[in-house]
Structure 1
Amino acid sequence: MRPISNQRFNAFAAYCRSPQALAIAEEILWFEADDSRIVATIIRDRPDSEFAGIILGRDEKERYRWINATEFFKSKIQARAALRAKIEEIIPILEQHRKQGDNDKKPVDFFTPLKKTKQPLHQSFLNLTSLEGFSPAKEIIEPMMRWHEDADGNFVEQFQTTGFDSRIWELYLFSLFTEAGFIIDKSSAIPDFSCSGLRGEFCAEATTVNPSRDKKGKILPPPPIEAEEEMEAAIRDYFPIKFAGPLTEKLRKRYWERENVQGKPFILAIQDFQSPTAMTMTRDALPIYLYGYRQADDWSMENPKVERVETHQWGNKTINSNFFSFEGAEYISAVIFNSSATISKFNRIGLQASFGSDRVRLFRFGTVCKTENGNPHITEYAHYVSEDAMVETWSEGLEVFHNPRAVHPLPMEMLPDAAHHFMPDDGLMRSRLPNWLPTQSYTHIEVEELPPQPDDNELF
């Protein structure tokens, strides 16, 4: 039995934790044993301040679930000793203890290539499953995927082929909502997420911005955006048009009329995958399209001026702006976005949680909005990802754009660690920001050549 971080324990076991459990007990120590076939935690009972050990093992579907527990003790030292003894007692008979007897399905497996697919395997899927540099991401997804119910019947195929980016975005949202303390109801495939927890209930539907294609299906390159003027033009019109397509498509489906959504806050969760680094460039364009406001040309900190945006035009295409003003959009409580929620986030969190090859080094750099003494400012950052550095969470980088017309507003406490943005009538956005909000995130993968290890005979 060896100690592990809370981050590593959560990667194994957060998906089976009841929100009510944390209301009555506090987890204070975490462990793993028997080559990670067992994970455990010591809890402190809040009413009585007594301590006990909880033991989890993999069930028939390879999901970590409760298999045993110790008695309660007056001290955590006693509880830890009892937990160690209980685990040593269970290991020889773990096979019979781990079986729950409530399912007979095979474990969900994202990684074994399907024998028959209509499309070739996605290059990012091949990278994830075959390159050592992505081993932290692969290993942190493994316990997560065991909890996935393929409600629409094609998740695994799309994850391996044409829909890799979209499915990674959905896995991110699954991790995000779990981290925030919500149980996800899997009884219905529509919408993607029906969440409930101590803070309340909400529903969410995932969508993505994808590359433009011609009539033959070939990907069309985005416009050149190397010069500052080109970037400004793209943020002003091209990127809002790209966001408009998937958002208005979801709006037309009127999810809020479904019985399992009625009366609850409803979120659209969007990520930009139109090009490999698109999400790092398009963040500023999303609120322009959502609210129909942008900074005036003579805007300054001393004299912040905005102007109304009625339409966006690029080439022969013109669309209306101000998504939240559209008919039916009052039932969209918020739109959420995270520029850093890509496969690289899984890689970084996986490495921090001690998953993957020991040879992998990840160098992260970009820009961040830091809030110090109540004053936000943009600065650059660069660092190697490590286990003892600032812990990256799934909610890091998340931005919530609240709808001022929402019939069912989304309370901020639903996603307390996110950045929350509000648009009053004067068009000047008000925000509640976390202390650290990455606005651009890039991750460079290095695989080190480790020195050769001596033979046993050389040690004597």
Structure 2
Amino acid sequence: MTAQTEVHAISKRRFDAFVVWARGTGMLPPITEVEWLEIQPAKVLGTVFVDKTDRDLNSAVLAPDLAGRYRAVETLESYTDVREVINATAASMVVVLNDYDKVRTQGDEKQAVDFFAKVAKESNLHTRFQYLRDSTGAVAARRLIEVAMRWYENQDGSYIEQFQTTGFDARVWELYLWAVLREAGHRVEQPKPAPDFLARGMVGDFYVEATTSNPPPANQAVPLPRSEKDIFEYIHNYLPTRFSGPLCNKLTEKGYWTREGFDLTIPFVIAIQDFHQHLSMTWSQSALFEYLYGVRIEERESGGEVQKVEVPVARIKWGTKDFSSGFFKLPDSERVSAVAFNAAGTLTKFNRMGIAAGMGDPSVTVQHEGRRFMKDDTGVEEAFSQTVTPGYEEDWIDGLTVFHNPNALNPLPFEAFPGAAHVFEEDGLLRQIFPAGHLISSTSKIIVRE
């Protein structure tokens, strides 16, 4: 076997970076993948898996079709020895490479969307889109998105224009949610014109609608707080005003509940991200919790011990704004099964995931640091600092918190977002459960060597 046709074992993380997007409609087959192979640079991929129905070993060989979408071009079935099926899969991959263009042609290719095909004047492009497109520091994110975009549907016809201009952050948030759903094993549809996603899986179907908190007019911008008093006011009074608008707008858009084809019997999830100010999302989760449930968690000393207690919050007041707290208590909110949030659901996440999948540039070093729960399942917080390298461990869902509506008509199963943290009501009190290693808050430092 020549150097040009060497078959390498790769991580599931790298394999998924090319293939996880390929999950379309319908149920997933009952299989467990155990090995992953590649002819570099991602020319041909292979996976060995166990069929749960008969316990036989099988494999699939994949290559990008003429539109760049990775699809199966060969399947090998009914092996009992792992080494035997790996060798057979590797040999099949070499055969595919030797007749590459003919074998990977599927005949039903549809032109894929190109997020980077320029659709606006350079002066109108969003600065973070320009950074993604041009910066060496964002190479990994760009390469990962270039693979993903070949499967993404331009649902409302405006995705690419908004991705490049005024809606960059919101569209990245949508792409992030799509990745979370795919990673969780759901088949994902994009209904037209809305909601954004219909996820189908073993736990049932549910909708996900994405929304964002966006920057206010320049003359209404509030600087990040510095003093302890300012931090309190910012978190408990100002930040809820940034969430109330986009969340309440989803309730007043009655078209969701009356739209033809919308299933009123399945859960409906609103996924919100805070982009109203740089680094604002690092402050946001406690404010969102308070606004959703109308409850503030405070520490009180009793009998020499510090305990956390729920303090009701009836109203939110900031400047001229005065409105009721407790989104889950509003009329029609029972139609919302849960609200999901992840401060880490940003472009930087794509960069880390791309580097972990081996898509980075050798001149780029990324240091990921922040706070998380310890991985020993004790529930203790710890500071961490890690260099992001190929093989670095992070999942799309890391850092995601799902706030469950206690009044929901269609409750969302926890299993819909495996690996997320969950907030829910039990016996009249709010409870929170977090997976071991759950990401609380973090930042990434990017260093590009000359």
TM-score by length of structure 2 reads 0.93
Q: Matched residues in 2 for 1:6 and 1:111: separation?
A: 27
1:80-95 equivalent positions in 2, closer than 5 A: 80-95=86-101
Q: Matched residues in 2 for 1:261 and 1:228: separation?
A: 46
Alpha carbons of structure 1 residues 185 and 398: separation in structure 2 relative to 1, 3 Å:
same
Structure 2 residue identity aligned to 1:377: V
Bigger mean CA deviation after superposition, 27-36 or 392-401: 27-36
Aligned equivalent of 2:64 = 58
Partner SS for 1:436: coil
Q: Are 1:78 and 2:84 an aligned pair?
A: yes
Q: Which of 266, 274, 277 in structure 2 is aligned with 1:264?
A: 266
Q: Percent identity?
A: 36
Q: Matched residues in 2 for 1:256 and 1:356: separation?
A: 43
Bigger mean CA deviation after superposition, 191-200 or 19-28: 19-28
Alpha carbons of structure 1 residues 18 and 27: separation in structure 2 relative to 1, 3 Å:
farther
Q: Matched residues in 2 for 1:18 and 1:24: separation?
A: 15
Q: Which of 406, 416, 419 in structure 2 is aligned with 1:417?
A: 419
> What is the CA distance between 1:70 and its match in structure 2?
2.3
Aligned equivalent of 1:432 = 433
Aligned equivalent of 1:368 = 372
Q: Matched residues in 1 for 2:26 and 2:49: separation?
A: 14
Q: Deviations over 1:25-49 (max 9, x none)?
A: 2211111215312211111222333
Q: Which of 315, 319, 343 in structure 2 is aligned with 1:339?
A: 343
Bigger mean CA deviation after superposition, 255-264 or 433-442: 255-264
Alpha carbons of structure 1 residues 199 and 404: separation in structure 2 relative to 1, 3 Å:
same
Q: Are 1:110 and 2:134 an aligned pair?
A: no
Q: Is the 8 A contact 2:62 2:70 kept in 1?
A: yes
Bigger mean CA deviation after superposition, 11-20 or 65-74: 11-20
Segments of structure 1 that go 5 or more residues without pairing to the other structure are 450-460
> What is the CA distance between 1:182 and its match in structure 2?
0.8
Aligned equivalent of 1:98 = 104
> What is the CA distance between 1:71 and its match in structure 2?
3.8
Q: Which of 339, 356, 361 in structure 2 is aligned with 1:357?
A: 361
Structure 2 residue identity aligned to 1:383: Q
> What is the CA distance between 1:138 and its match in structure 2?
0.7
Q: Which of 382, 385, 409 in structure 1 is aligned with 2:385?
A: 382
Alpha carbons of structure 1 residues 15 and 401: separation in structure 2 relative to 1, 3 Å:
same
Partner SS for 2:285: coil
> What is the CA distance between 1:101 and its match in structure 2?
2.0
> What is the CA distance between 1:420 and its match in structure 2?
0.5
Aligned equivalent of 1:457 = none
Aligned equivalent of 1:403 = 405
Q: Are 1:11 and 2:11 an aligned pair?
A: no
> What is the CA distance between 1:52 and its match in structure 2?
2.5
Q: Are 1:276 and 2:282 an aligned pair?
A: no
Q: Is the 8 A contact 1:185 1:195 kept in 2?
A: yes
Q: Are 1:322 and 2:326 an aligned pair?
A: yes
Aligned equivalent of 1:250 = 250
> What is the CA distance between 1:380 and its match in structure 2?
1.7
Alpha carbons of structure 1 residues 89 and 299: separation in structure 2 relative to 1, 3 Å:
same
Bigger mean CA deviation after superposition, 415-424 or 230-239: 415-424
Q: Is the 8 A contact 2:299 2:308 kept in 1?
A: no
> What is the CA distance between 1:95 and its match in structure 2?
1.2
Aligned equivalent of 2:161 = 157
Alpha carbons of structure 1 residues 186 and 100: separation in structure 2 relative to 1, 3 Å:
farther
Q: Is the 8 A contact 1:292 1:322 kept in 2?
A: yes
> What is the CA distance between 1:190 and its match in structure 2?
0.6
Q: Is the 8 A contact 1:119 1:162 kept in 2?
A: no
> What is the CA distance between 1:18 and its match in structure 2?
6.5
Q: Deviations over 1:156-181 (max 9, x none)?
A: 01101110000000000000000111
Q: Matched residues in 1 for 2:265 and 2:339: separation?
A: 17
The number of aligned residues is 440
Q: Is the 8 A contact 1:50 1:75 kept in 2?
A: no
Q: Is the 8 A contact 2:23 2:188 kept in 1?
A: no
Bigger mean CA deviation after superposition, 7-16 or 220-229: 220-229
Q: Matched residues in 2 for 1:189 and 1:310: separation?
A: 36
Q: Matched residues in 2 for 1:42 and 1:160: separation?
A: 39
TM-score by length of structure 1 reads 0.91
1:103-252 equivalent positions in 2, closer than 5 A: 103=109, 105-114=110-119, 116=120, 120-213=124-217, 218=218, 220-252=220-252
Bigger mean CA deviation after superposition, 224-233 or 65-74: 65-74
Q: Is the 8 A contact 1:310 1:322 kept in 2?
A: yes
Q: Deviations over 1:350-392 (max 9, x none)?
A: 111100211211111112233645x423322212122344x10
Alpha carbons of structure 1 residues 71 and 405: separation in structure 2 relative to 1, 3 Å:
closer
> What is the CA distance between 1:77 and its match in structure 2?
1.2
